[in-house]
Structure 1
Amino acid sequence: MLRPLCHEAQLLLHQALRSQLRVGVGLQQRKVSHHLCRDCQRQFSTTRKYIKKIQGTWSQTLANLERQLSSSTGSKDGPSEPGSSQPKMAAPAAGAQTPLSSPKSPDGSGDTKSSQSQKVLKVTPRARKKSIDYSYTGNIYILPVRAMNEYLLKPSDLDELPKYSRRSPYETGPKIVVYLRSDVEDLAGRVWGSLDKLNKEKHKLLQGDRYDVFEMRRLIDQHKLRVAAMSEDRPPTDKNYTVREIFLESGTGRVVMSAIFVNALNSLIKLVAWIFTGSHSMFSEVIHSVADTVNQVILAFGLYHSMQKPDSDHPYGFVNLRHISSLISGVGIFCLGSGLSCYHGIQGFLHPEQLGSMYWALGTLAAAFVSEGATLLVAVNQVRKKSRAKNMRFWQYVQGGFDPNVNVVLLEDLAAVVGVGIAAACMGITHYTGNPFADSLGSMLIGGLLGVVATFIITTNTEALVGRSIPQTLKQQISQDLESDRMIRSLHDVKATDMAGQVRFKAEVDFDGREITRAYLYKLDLEQLLAEMRELQKVEDVEGFMLNHGEKIIDLLGEEVDRIEKKLKKTHPQLRHVDLEAL
């Protein structure tokens, strides 16, 4: 036969077999050489060559058909035995000359026995299947709430409609009841007269503010999203805690509130000491404490609002406010704390002044060291507790920025403790040497320390807000857990990002259709299924059989995806959103 690419030549051969046209003439008229592929053009360089080739193929095809028919007929006059596997034959029409029949003689007589013994295969063309209409919308289901909101129907109106149960879109929710949208539209047309009258009534109600459909929908969405998990700091024993109670009970909230109280008290004490001493280093410490207080108030504001429940406008919650408030805090430390400290140190170099009473300064620095050290220990304990929960090292957890609010408090208090030591050392050198430049140098050093801390806070929170990939080891572990499931062949295009402490995992999954079908068959009675298959007689019966079981297999695929996601979140609690897309 010809090469598959030479489609036009194959079509001509098929037409020649049916109508007994001359192949050479047909090829010359249709000019097939322009439609042949390059390989065939090189093989059949001239028209004569490929005409001869096709004629040879034509003769060979006729010879094969003649041999098959002669072997199937058995004998000239003997009828076929019952139960034989001969193909059904049809006698040629009167006056028609078939490729295998003898030509008639001029006087109208022919070989009667030969014409009776030779038969022609009856070819029935297969009906062409219709293409799938992807714009079909008769299979859309809607919830009762949507039916009542969009079509202004009462719950009693929906009682007459057929109900369908579907899987819940939520992990712990029961099955949901849905209606066909076409049924609901027909019902709304009967209730309101027509869909145009329904739209006019909706417009009238919306204009009069008597029935806000969209506000009702928003409230319902909020109610559904209340089942979503709160932040990781929420106490697990009580589901009715308010945001304020969650904030005060969480470890991060306690750390931030204690830091605000301590830094506010230190700011007042250092301000009094600076008034009595006039030290540039003490002024830097005042600015440092004031900046820490303001920044931690911003942290508390962001942490409080990040614990709010998700709503329809913010379906993923407000957890990003933690990183936003920490980022603002870092900018404040850099501009206010570092900038003013360096500026005051430069002023001390340009206009040196003698220090006042050292007793106020040393007493204030000692009190600040104790208080800042206490809040530093609280922050260290909180970071150590959470790093152990994630099986991470202490500084690895800090660098990852998994709890930005605690990190800010930790770094600010660490800088405060180190800054107190720098201020005490520089003020002591100035007191014993009488050189005020040491005190100004201390102010510059404290400003540089605050700049380093602010840069670290800004960098880590910016990366968290932009979205960064999780560690490669964790990503591989999650992928291995997925691939160990029997229903999955392989994973592709795996993406796992850490968005504000919440890991979002996405992968293209090659599901094993045979295993999913096997799981479906495991739930069925195979004997009953076999009996059902034996009753199939028509094409319509086969179609209905396949549609029924195909829909159930797709439902089972959704159940398997839910099972895999639930298992994955249980194994890796840091996962918040898992998106498995069928390849």
Structure 2
Amino acid sequence: RFRHRLAMLRRLMAGHSPFCRPVRLPRSLDLARKGRMMPLRLLSGKIPGTGWIHDESKESYIQRSIEKFRQQLHSPDHVLLSATRARSEFGLTRKELNKITPARRREDIDGEGLVEEQYWLPDIVAMARISSSEDMMIERYRHYLESGRQDGMRRSKIYGFNQMQQGQSTTWFGHLWYSRKDNEIQGADVVRIAIKQNIAICLTKLVVAFYTGSAAVFADAMHSVADVINTMYRYVGINLATRDPDYRHPYGYERLRYVFTDRSCLILLGVGGLFPLYHGIGALYEVSEITYPAVMGGLFFTVGVLETPALIRSYYALRKKAKRMDISLLSYLRSGNDMINITTFAECFLGVIAAGAGVVSSLMVGITGDATYDSIASIFIASTVVTGSGLILTKNAKALVGETLPVSTVEKLVFMLEEDDVINSVHDVKTEVLGVDTVRFKAEIEFNAEAITRKIKNLHQVPGPESAKLLQDVNGISSEIAVEDWLMRNNAMYQTALSSELQRVETRVRAYLREANFKNFYVDLELW
């Protein structure tokens, strides 16, 4: 403290404000050499490096804020201030804050492990008056406003700005080195397997189609071409969808999964469905001779074998998710939201069906020598792709618009909340699934004021020790000022307790959603 006051004295002797700090000024201002000590309030107009969002002038805002600050010094309200604001606005040190009993420790509900201590404003003012005079506190607060640090604190309240200030990437390619903390990309392993096998299958089919002239092989080859394009495209979409939320997209990028799935299905519909269907119908009217039907049959059999690993992998992935939701696999295919795995499973399943149809057509062509069976198989393969693509597009459109959680899940959640002792009822419940592991929950909560008051004052048994103490406090009020102070203090205590209860309820909702296999939650609770 002696060194601090000595530095203040030197600044006063140099003609500067005792509370100013060295600032690096832009060369365009041409005010002084780099690093010179200069009071920030000498700069007129907008302070460089700090945005100004108010319509009024900077100076009028500062004067109005100082008047409010002076009123709080004389008659502080019963409100809570964080340790950061206590140090910035009142100049308290950590040692001085340690002498004050925290009114509340607000824990970070996002699982970061951060704890923010909050203190009553009257206690902060009383501690600040011990080490500083009123004029010093006002001058310090003026410098705090002029320095622009308040603008930084205001921006920090906007979601994602801290991430941007820490240099974390928010570009489209930032996911390559900065992604979610769990680094788990759901569905990526299935897509990687599908990419490898589809490339090998596609090249083989194209060679055999050119060698044999089979319309069925050509239709299946176009299906494989579409599969290769789709799987690569979806793999890019999966990686982009795992980016962390930022200030431009506070609810994350999970819906990119649906966007990329939708576009890949259009590719599958056109390249793997409509074009082979047109080619198969044309081959039906212009039947050509099929050479080496045995080679064609062997190809389809091999393709069916190669399609099996990705089919099994996606099957078990979907079965695992269906088991977690306590529903059947068929029900999950109808109502599930993991469109990447569902689309991969559908493509592999259609590939196996196409391989089976190709084997049957090869046998019929080899037995009868009639190439019409090959054209019929081509039309059948293309038709299954068109039908499957249409169903996936319809389901994906619903997921892209946004669907609610299952009604049974929401009912259980509402029942759990209304069973809470301090909650009277729950209203206007809205849920929305934003991605594979991301959900949003919104509700209006009607709290029981008496239950919260009993919890604050520990009035679980009346008459009792706590009620006797409360009666003694009320009987000790002897003036109007004391009545006002008692009322304000108790109302502030109730407001703090209500905020704590709201945070506790939100923690319960998050725990319930975590048990429902969601990893990212956006819980918005409002007072009814």
CA distance in 1, matches of 2:456, 2:156: 42
Q: CA deviation at 1:537?
A: 1.5
CA distance in 1, matches of 2:269, 2:483: 73
Task: Name the residue aligned to 2:228.
Answer: 293
One-letter amino acid of the counterpart of residue 543, structure 1: E
Of structures 1 and 2, the larger Rg is shown by 1
CA contact (8 A) 1:430 1:436 kept: yes
Task: Name the residue aligned to 1:22.
Answer: none
CA distance in 1, matches of 2:144, 2:429: 46
Following superposition of structure 1 onto structure 2, how do residues 345-356 of structure 1 map, counting pairs within 5 Å?
345-356=280-291
Task: Name the residue aligned to 1:256.
Answer: 191
Q: CA deviation at 1:504?
A: 2.2
Deviates more, 1:427-436 or 1:137-146: 137-146
Following superposition of structure 1 onto structure 2, how do residues 54-453 of structure 1 map, counting pairs within 5 Å?
159=93, 168=106, 170-171=108-109, 172-176=113-117, 190=139, 220-221=162-163, 243=179, 252-453=187-388
Any idea what SS the aligned residue of 1:470 has? coil
Matched, 1:509 2:445: yes
Task: Name the residue aligned to 2:524.
Answer: 579
CA distance in 1, matches of 2:157, 2:453: 41
One-letter amino acid of the counterpart of residue 108, structure 2: Y
Per-residue CA distance 1:335-381 (angstroms, 9 max, x = gap):
22111111211221343221122233222212111110121111111
Q: CA deviation at 1:403?
A: 1.3
Per-residue CA distance 1:150-202 (angstroms, 9 max, x = gap):
xxx8x99675999987653731531245898xx9xx99984697899768x99
Any idea what SS the aligned residue of 2:106 has? coil
CA distance in 1, matches of 2:239, 2:310: 20
CA contact (8 A) 1:188 1:195 kept: no
TM-score, structure 2 as length reference: 0.69
Q: CA deviation at 1:489?
A: 1.3
CA distance in 1, matches of 2:136, 2:389: 63
Task: Name the residue aligned to 2:429.
Answer: 494
Task: Name the residue aligned to 2:408.
Answer: 473
CA distance in 1, matches of 2:511, 2:156: 35
Q: CA deviation at 1:542?
A: 1.5
CA contact (8 A) 1:327 1:458 kept: yes
Higher relative contact order (CA 8 A, sep 6+): 2
2:418 to 480, 483, 489: 483
What do you get for the CA RMSD once the two structures are aligned?
4.0
Q: CA deviation at 1:539?
A: 2.3
Task: Name the residue aligned to 1:520.
Answer: 456
- Relative distance call for 1:225 and 1:388 in structure 2 (3 A) is farther
CA distance in 1, matches of 2:226, 2:245: 32
CA distance in 2, matches of 1:440, 1:448: 12
Task: Name the residue aligned to 2:43.
Answer: none
Any idea what SS the aligned residue of 2:440 has? strand
- Relative distance call for 1:187 and 1:159 in structure 2 (3 A) is farther
Q: CA deviation at 1:435?
A: 2.9
One-letter amino acid of the counterpart of residue 313, structure 2: V
Q: Structure 2: any 5+ residue segments left out of the alignment?
A: 1-67, 126-134, 169-176, 460-464
CA distance in 2, matches of 1:503, 1:244: 16
CA contact (8 A) 1:479 1:491 kept: yes
CA distance in 2, matches of 1:413, 1:536: 79
CA distance in 1, matches of 2:395, 2:300: 30
CA distance in 2, matches of 1:539, 1:202: 37
Q: Structure 1: any 5+ residue segments left out of the alignment?
A: 1-135, 204-210, 227-240
TM-score, structure 1 as length reference: 0.63
Any idea what SS the aligned residue of 1:314 has? coil
Q: CA deviation at 1:334?
A: 1.2
Q: CA deviation at 1:409?
A: 0.8
Task: Name the residue aligned to 1:533.
Answer: 474
Deviates more, 1:425-434 or 1:213-222: 213-222
Instruction: State how many pairs are aligned.
Output: 418
Following superposition of structure 1 onto structure 2, how do residues 41-56 of structure 1 map, counting pairs within 5 Å?
none
Q: CA deviation at 1:505?
A: 2.2
Any idea what SS the aligned residue of 1:312 has? coil
CA contact (8 A) 1:168 1:175 kept: yes
